[in-house]
Amino acid sequence: MTTLVPFDKALAAYDPAMGLEVHVELNTNSKMFCGCPTEFGAEPNTQVCPTCLGLPGALPVVNHKAVESAIRIGLALNCEIAEWCRFARKNYFYPDMPKNFQTSQYDEPIAFEGYMDVEVEGETFRVEIERAHMEEDTGKSLHVGGATGRIHGADYSLVDYNRAGIPLIEIVTKPIIGAGEKAPLVAKAYVAQLRDLIVALGVSDARMDQGSIRADVNLSLAPKGSDKLGTRSETKNVNSLRSVERAVRFEVSRHAGILNEGGKVVQETRHFHEDTGETTSGREKSDAEDYRYFPEPDLVPVAPSREWVEELRGTLPENPTAKKTRLQVEYGFTDLEMRDVWAAGALPLIEATVGEGVAPQSARKWWVAELLRRANDAGVELAEVGVTPAQVAAVQKLVDAKTINDKLARQVFDGLIADEGTPEEIIEKRGLALVSDDGPLIAAIDDALAAQPDLVEKIKGGNMGAIGAIMGAVMKATRGQADAGRARELILEKLGLS
Amino acid sequence: MTDLLKKSAAELAELLAEGSVTSVALTQACLDRISEVDTGDNGVHAFLHVDAEGAIAAAAASDARRAKGELLSPLDGVPIAVKDVLTTIGQPTTCGSKILEGWVPPYDATVVARLKAAGLPILGKTNMDEFAMGSSTEHSAYGPTRNPWALDRIPGGSGGGSAAAVAAFEAPLAIGTDTGGSIRQPGAVTGTVGVKPTYGAISRYGLVAMANSLDQVGPVTRTVLDSALLQELIGGHDPLDSTSISEPIPSVVDAARLGASGDLTGVKVGVIQELTTGEGWQPGVMARFDESLELLRDAGAEIVEVSCPSFEHALAAYYLIMPCEASSNLAKFDAMRYGLRVTPDGDPSAEEVMRASRDAGFGDEVKRRIILGTYALSSGYYDAYYGQAQKVRTLIQRDFAAAFEQADVLVSPTAPTTAWKLGEKLDDPLAMYKGDLATIPSNLAGVPGISVPAGLADEDGLPVGFQVLAPAKADDRVYRVGAALETLLEKKWGGPLLDKAPVLEGVAR
């Protein structure tokens, strides 16, 4: 086992180069080459037909909507759109691949030569896009028995072909060099921004946790100052933004360890483990792995007309950088606030929350101050914290209506994350509603005043600061659920001061 | 054998219309003939599966429709045989391979669905070389089909089953598929008519692919008009096949009727020099070809010589493109989802099960082509093999384009020889491959072709085929010239060529 070199030390000696391959599962109603539905989570092998099962004789037909989505993604990534391109067969045997070839694109991708500017700690990096191409997903294998859940050592395997044939767009970057110690953050920011772009385009559910966006992280190190790229490892299916960052960090440390010991990095695929933050060896990539690509003879070339491409360009959402500047002005966020919002990946969430009628600063407060902490504690992305913008808006409305206060709202979020129901149901179940009924309030006030006659005298003597102490006792008695404003009114009334 | 069985499909349709025969009686007559000549050690063995029950039920339904005057098509009630490479609900589809033994598809090929929708009872599935790989039907895992003209000879291939079924009067009509000549060459050696339409004119959905860019479904019949009637029934755009042609092609039935007048005034016929000169052409084949050419001239056609210099590379290009596509197509037969599964002893991995199943399930010719194709597509060889072959394909298309500037149709013998003896070329794949010399160029270019019986070779008394080729989407031209030649020859012979074939009664006993 190689000794890991601490990240900082590794970067003192080596320059990292990264390549990111992101698979985006499109949200088309039907699959890439047949009419089967694409719903997530259906009973195994219920969304299949002769074509996506690869039955003898069945033929593919290209999903026009998927081509449209591919072109829109390409345009949003500032790519050229091919005037003419073909599908190709990628041949290899695996039980979850019905035809034992994947219909993909090889040297004629639908989109190529683009870029995306990503912002990390106030600095902009241009990530160059080599290509975005169309392909079909494979089925899913479930290996039963054995210790690892992998095919090796399993008692038997089950295959679900519902996912087979779902349209994918694979977006491949050119080597990202020069990011230095920011490499893990650049990788994370690229995937995050790409996800936001995909969301804005509306072409995918963009759920990393459900695998509708999957990232492969390729990494290599070269001695500082060298202009040659080192041997790369390919870490597959990294399924959260945080994992993208961690995978890069880990691989930097691992590669540096191997190189420091005079070893050679093996070109191989690796698996990332969420629990340990480490990668382990998958299969070695050798020259023997030869996909024998050739043009798919069952499909005619895709030749999008320039008119269509321009029409689709007109449907693109606002450029993310321009949008960020616009929203900062609209929302009145300071530069510092905006940087935090951006770093937390909160802007789309805040935008959606504001869209539900919440004031921008309130939305920012909940997402960046409150929910980000919980996301960090849970080790998940903010978007995956378990609370939706609509729920944040519902909570804020309850605060505005004085049903709850900010402090109680935090408990409502606890309930939402624990999936206890709607905010109203949680308030009901947890007994969180503010006490603004005069009855229980007056009882608590009477008790508090009776318990502390000296304070009553002080207040009557004009020391209004002493009201705070009475309020404290009232709050304690009502377990924090007293409507503070109404309690104050009642105290003053009781003492004949109103 | 009843005279009924000798009728053409067009004639049978008339008899059905007159009410002088029912579809049930006709279908039963075919089934009886199959029992009589197809089974047993010396039988023709054109069929791999006979669906007597299904065919009779479909025939009864046709008769019921006719009684109500609600016909589905001009051929409603005329039975047909289907090559076992097209998927059929309720009937096994083996492609002549052990690897698919017992597999019953859950869906119909578009062609099969159209036959059913047109009311044709399907008699069964016909024998073929395994996955359509061969020119003799000897590569069927279920034993060879015999040529009805001489039971010790091959019926051509890969569609020897369909051609023999029609030649032996077991069925008036059959469906074949043609990747490099698998409809036309069996047609030539069995004295029947076979058409490979323009690529894309008939849906390939449900056709188990050998080489997707070359495969084409087509009619196998005893007359040119029957082929035309059948092509019109099964042809036309299919949204399930991306390579199917969306625009209509001129009526081939009209063209066949026009041709039957025997007048070819103004038609320019180009004789392909590369396919009529040089070595390897049997004298009797060339003699019948030259006579046919004279008849066309007499009918008013202008005969010109054309040259297609790239044709000499056609066979080499074909034997790269076809195995490349086939090696990928056949990858799906891995024992994971359907078909034969061989589980080696011990605790085998999925990969070991795949390997054992493929080893046991595929025959030698299939393995040969998978290995060839896998090799040719491998990294570092792609450009030299697949890439070069595609360039040759382009050159061949250009040769055709230039030739069709000079002539309306191009002609050659369909195959260089008559039917050879069973087993004669089994150990010499190259000799076998050369049988497709004249048919392969049209597959590489996607153009239509027909093979029409041209008589019997003097040296062996076996049938010879005359091939007519036309530009893509001009299928009507091959039908017109084919029908004209048929009329002229039958006039000369005093009847159809098949009248001279052995009667075959009792061979199955």
> What pLDDT, on a 0 to 100 scale, did the predictor assign at position A492?
82
> What pLDDT, on a 0 to 100 scale, did the predictor assign at position A436?
64
Angle at alpha carbon of residue B73, lines to B72 and B76, rounded to 5°: 80
Which residues of B are less than 8 Å from A60 in CB distance?
242
Contacts 24+ apart (CB under 8 A), B374-378: B374/A292, B374/B327, B376/B320, B376/B323, B376/B324, B377/A91, B377/A292, B377/A293, B377/A294, B377/B324, B377/B327, B377/B328, B378/A290, B378/A292
How many H-runs (helices) and E-runs (strands) does chain B carry? 16, 11
> What pLDDT, on a 0 to 100 scale, did the predictor assign at position A445?
86
B130 has a pLDDT exceeding 60: yes
> What pLDDT, on a 0 to 100 scale, did the predictor assign at position A284?
63
**B290 assigned to some structural domain:** yes
Confirm if B498 and B489 have CB atoms less than 8 A apart. Answer: no
Would you call B64 exposed, middle or buried from its count of C-beta atoms within 10 A (0-12, 13-18, 19+)? exposed
**B366 assigned to some structural domain:** no
Confidence of residue A130 (pLDDT cuts 50, 70, 90): very high
- Rounded mean pLDDT of chain B? 96
| pLDDT, tens only, A230-254 | 999 999 989 889 999 999 999 999 9
Question: Could B106 and A151 be called an inter-chain contact, meaning their C-beta atoms sit closer than 8 Å?
Answer: no
Bridge partners of A135, per DSSP, are: A168
**B337 assigned to some structural domain:** no
Greater confidence, B427 or A131? A131
**B448 assigned to some structural domain:** yes
Confidence of residue A285 (pLDDT cuts 50, 70, 90): low
Confidence of residue A150 (pLDDT cuts 50, 70, 90): low
Which residues of A are less than 8 Å from B239 in CB distance?
61
Mean pLDDT of A389-414: 89
User: How many Å is the Cα radius of gyration of chain A?
Assistant: 28
Question: Could A50 and B107 be called an inter-chain contact, meaning their C-beta atoms sit closer than 8 Å?
Answer: yes
Q: How many CB pairs under 8 A join A and B?
A: 100
Question: Could B87 and A61 be called an inter-chain contact, meaning their C-beta atoms sit closer than 8 Å?
Answer: no
B507 has a pLDDT exceeding 90: no
A366 has a pLDDT exceeding 60: yes
In the numeric block, which tokens belong to residue A5? 């070199």
Helix, strand, coil shares of chain A, percent, nearest 5, are 40, 20, 40
CA distance A309 to chain B (A): 22
Would you call A126 exposed, middle or buried from its count of C-beta atoms within 10 A (0-12, 13-18, 19+)? exposed
**B206 assigned to some structural domain:** yes
Which residues of A are less than 8 Å from B331 in CB distance?
91, 93, 99-101
CA distance A36 to chain B (A): 13
Which residues of A are less than 8 Å from B105 in CB distance?
50, 55-57
Quickly tell me which residue has 């994918």 as its tokens: A168
CATH code: domain of residue B90: 3.90.1300.10
> What pLDDT, on a 0 to 100 scale, did the predictor assign at position B115?
98
Nearest residue to B189 via CA among B444, B455, B425: B455
Of the candidates B87, B205, B334, which has its C-beta nearest A100's C-beta? B334
- Interface check for B128 against chain A (CB to CB < 8 A): the answer is no
| pLDDT, tens only, A201-222 | 999 988 888 889 999 999 999 9
Fold of A438-494: Arc Repressor Mutant, subunit A (1.10.10)
Catalytic residues of B: 83, 158, 182
CATH 1.10.10 domain position(s) in chain A = 438-494
A403 has a pLDDT exceeding 90: no
pTM across the whole model: 0.87
Q: Which residues span the domain enclosing B186?
A: 3-311+394-496
B313 has a pLDDT exceeding 70: yes
Question: Could B243 and A298 be called an inter-chain contact, meaning their C-beta atoms sit closer than 8 Å?
Answer: yes
**B468 assigned to some structural domain:** yes
Confidence of residue B509 (pLDDT cuts 50, 70, 90): low
Those of residues 304-323 in B touching chain A at CB distance below 8 A are: none
